Structure 1
Amino acid sequence: MTSISTTSSPATPTTVASAASKRVADRIAARAGDPDITLRERVALRTSDAEVTYAELSERAQKTAAELSALGVGAGDIVGVRLPSGPGAVAAMLACWHVGAAFLPMDASAPDAHRDHLLSRSAARAVIDGDGPRSLTDAAPSATGSPKGDDAYVIYTSGSTGTPKGVLVGQDAFAEHTTAIADLLELRDTDTVLQFAGLGFDVAQEEIWPTLAVGGTVAFLDSKDRALGPAELARRVRELNVSVLQLPTSYWRLLCAQMRGTESPGLSFDGVRTVVIGGEAAGTKDVHAHRDGPLGHCTLVNGYGPTETVVTCTAFVLRAHEPLPPTAGLPIGGPVGERRLYVLGADRRPAAGDSPGELWVGGSPLAEGYLNDPQRTAERFHADPFGSASGARMYRTGDLVRRHRDGTLEFLGRLDNQVKVRGYRIELDEVERHLTDTRGVTAAAAVALDDGTGTGGRILAAALAVTAGGPTAEEIREDLRGRLPSHLVPGLIRVRDALPLTTSGKIDRKAVAAVLADEHTAGEEAGAGVRVRADADAASAGIAAADTADADLTLLLKLIRTLLRAPDFGPDDDFLAHGGDSLVALRVSGTLREHGLRLRPSDLLTAQDARAAAVRMERS
Structure 2
Amino acid sequence: VLQNTPMPALQLPDVTLSLYEIDGGSADYDLKLELVEAEGELFASLQYNTDLFEAATIERLHQHFEIALRRLLAAPERRLADLTLLTEAERALLDEWNATTRSYPTSASVHGLFEQQAARTPDAIAVVFEAQRLSYRELNTRANQLARHLQQRGVAQRAPAEAHVAICLDRSIEMVVGLLGILKAGAAYLPLDPNYPHARLAWMLADAQPALVLTQQAIAATLPTEAEIVCLDADWPQIAMLDGDNLPDSTSDDSAIYAIYTSGSTGQPKGAINTHGGVRNRLLWMQETYDLTAADRVLQKTPFTFDVSVWEFFWPLITGAQLIVARPEGHKDNGYLVDLIEREGITTLHFVPSMLSLFLAEPDLHRCHSLRRVICSGEALPAQLAARFFERLSAELHNLYGPTEAAVDVTAWSCAPDDKRRSVPIGHPVANTQIQILDRQLNRLPVGVPGELHIGGIQLARGYLNRPALTAERFIPDPFSQTGGSRLYKTGDLARFQPDGTIEYLGRIDHQIKLRGFRIELGEIEAALREHEAIREALVLLREDRADDPRLVAYVVENREPRTKNLGDESEAGSRFLVLGSPLREFLAQRLPDYMIPSAFVPLDALPLTPNGKIDRRGLPAPDAEQPDRKQGFVAPRTPTEEVIATLWAEVLGLKQVGVFDNFFELGGHSLRAILLLSRVREVFRVSLPVQSMFEATTVAALAELLINHEEQPGKIDKIARLLQRIKQVSPDELAKNLEQRRKDGQRT
Q: In the TM superposition, what is the alpha-carbon distance from 1:313 to its structure 2 partner? A: 0.8
> Relative to 1, partners in 2 of residues 1:281 and 1:224: Cα closer, same or farther, differing over 3 Å?
closer
Q: In the TM superposition, what is the alpha-carbon distance from 1:281 to its structure 2 partner? A: 0.7
The answer to which structure, 1 or 2, has the higher relative contact order (CA under 8 A, 6+ apart) is 1
Q: CA–CA distance in 2 between the matches of 1:552 and 1:572?
A: 15
Kept after mapping to 1: 8 A contact 2:528/2:591: no
Q: CA–CA distance in 2 between the matches of 1:138 and 1:48?
A: 32
> Relative to 1, partners in 2 of residues 1:421 and 1:402: Cα closer, same or farther, differing over 3 Å?
same
For 2:746, the equivalent position in structure 1 comes to none
For 1:478, the equivalent position in structure 2 comes to 586
Q: In the TM superposition, what is the alpha-carbon distance from 1:439 to its structure 2 partner? A: 3.3
Could you say what the CA RMSD is over the residues aligned between the two structures, in angstroms? Answer: 3.0
Q: In the TM superposition, what is the alpha-carbon distance from 1:308 to its structure 2 partner? A: 0.9
Kept after mapping to 1: 8 A contact 2:541/2:553: yes
Q: CA–CA distance in 2 between the matches of 1:442 and 1:559?
A: 36
Is 2:399 the partner of 1:302? yes
Matches within 5 A, 1:441-452: 441-450=535-544, 452=546
Q: Number of aligned pairs? A: 567
Q: CA–CA distance in 1 between the matches of 2:125 and 2:521?
A: 40
For 1:241, the equivalent position in structure 2 comes to 345
For 1:80, the equivalent position in structure 2 comes to 166
Kept after mapping to 2: 8 A contact 1:448/1:458: yes
Kept after mapping to 2: 8 A contact 1:108/1:199: no
For 1:533, the equivalent position in structure 2 comes to none
Kindly, what percent of the aligned residue pairs are identical?
29
Question: Which of these residues, 111, 129, 132, is aligned with residue 215 of structure 2?
Answer: 129
Matches within 5 A, 1:147-158: 150-158=255-263
Q: C-alpha deviations, 1:436-483, integer Å up to 9, x for none?
A: 11231111001111151x23x421111111234441221111111122
Q: C-alpha deviations, 1:541-592, integer Å up to 9, x for none?
A: 2434xx53242243244346x34x6x78642344356653331012223445
Q: In the TM superposition, what is the alpha-carbon distance from 1:336 to its structure 2 partner? A: 1.7
Kept after mapping to 2: 8 A contact 1:102/1:149: no
Q: In the TM superposition, what is the alpha-carbon distance from 1:45 to its structure 2 partner? A: 1.1
Kept after mapping to 1: 8 A contact 2:398/2:413: yes
For 2:135, the equivalent position in structure 1 comes to 53
Kept after mapping to 2: 8 A contact 1:557/1:570: no
Q: In the TM superposition, what is the alpha-carbon distance from 1:249 to its structure 2 partner? A: 1.3
For 2:183, the equivalent position in structure 1 comes to 97
For 2:514, the equivalent position in structure 1 comes to 420
Q: CA–CA distance in 1 between the matches of 2:96 and 2:373?
A: 22
Q: TM-score, normalised by structure 2?
A: 0.70
Which AA in structure 1 matches 2:510?
D
3-state SS, counterpart of residue 586 of structure 1: helix
Question: Which of these residues, 457, 477, 494, is aligned with residue 383 of structure 1?
Answer: 477
For 1:323, the equivalent position in structure 2 comes to 418
Question: Which of these residues, 348, 358, 372, is aligned with residue 273 of structure 1?
Answer: 372
Question: Which of these residues, 148, 172, 180, is aligned with residue 66 of structure 1?
Answer: 148
Q: CA–CA distance in 2 between the matches of 1:64 and 1:236?
A: 29
Kept after mapping to 1: 8 A contact 2:496/2:505: yes
Q: TM-score, normalised by structure 1?
A: 0.84
Kept after mapping to 2: 8 A contact 1:474/1:577: yes
Question: Which of these residues, 388, 395, 407, is aligned with residue 289 of structure 1?
Answer: 388
Q: CA–CA distance in 1 between the matches of 2:684 and 2:150?
A: 54
For 1:254, the equivalent position in structure 2 comes to 358
Matches within 5 A, 1:149-228: 150-225=255-330, 227-228=332-333
Q: C-alpha deviations, 1:347-373, integer Å up to 9, x for none?
A: 322211221122111111111111121
Which AA in structure 1 matches 2:380?
A
Gaps of 5+ in 1: 140-145, 528-538
For 1:611, the equivalent position in structure 2 comes to 701
For 2:97, the equivalent position in structure 1 comes to 7
Kept after mapping to 2: 8 A contact 1:43/1:52: yes
Which AA in structure 2 matches 1:73?
V
Which AA in structure 2 matches 1:302?
N
Q: CA–CA distance in 2 between the matches of 1:391 and 1:10?
A: 18
Which AA in structure 2 matches 1:323?
D
Which AA in structure 2 matches 1:543?
P
For 2:530, the equivalent position in structure 1 comes to 436
> Relative to 1, partners in 2 of residues 1:448 and 1:89: Cα closer, same or farther, differing over 3 Å?
same
Q: CA–CA distance in 1 between the matches of 2:317 and 2:279?
A: 14
Q: CA–CA distance in 2 between the matches of 1:577 and 1:110?
A: 21
Q: In the TM superposition, what is the alpha-carbon distance from 1:332 to its structure 2 partner? A: 0.4
Q: In the TM superposition, what is the alpha-carbon distance from 1:169 to its structure 2 partner? A: 0.4
Which AA in structure 1 matches 2:182?
C
Which AA in structure 1 matches 2:97?
T
Q: CA–CA distance in 2 between the matches of 1:526 and 1:473?
A: 12
Q: CA–CA distance in 1 between the matches of 2:681 and 2:172?
A: 31
Q: CA–CA distance in 2 between the matches of 1:96 and 1:11?
A: 31
Q: CA–CA distance in 2 between the matches of 1:209 and 1:64?
A: 18
Q: In the TM superposition, what is the alpha-carbon distance from 1:73 to its structure 2 partner? A: 1.4
Q: In the TM superposition, what is the alpha-carbon distance from 1:129 to its structure 2 partner? A: 0.9
Is 2:604 the partner of 1:496? yes
3-state SS, counterpart of residue 332 of structure 2: coil
Is 2:202 the partner of 1:116? yes
Q: CA–CA distance in 2 between the matches of 1:285 and 1:360?
A: 28
Gaps of 5+ in 2: 1-94, 229-250, 568-579, 709-716, 725-749
3-state SS, counterpart of residue 292 of structure 1: helix
3-state SS, counterpart of residue 368 of structure 2: coil
For 2:467, the equivalent position in structure 1 comes to 373
Which AA in structure 2 matches 1:252?
L
Q: C-alpha deviations, 1:262-295, integer Å up to 9, x for none?
A: 6x5x6421100000011111111111211221x2
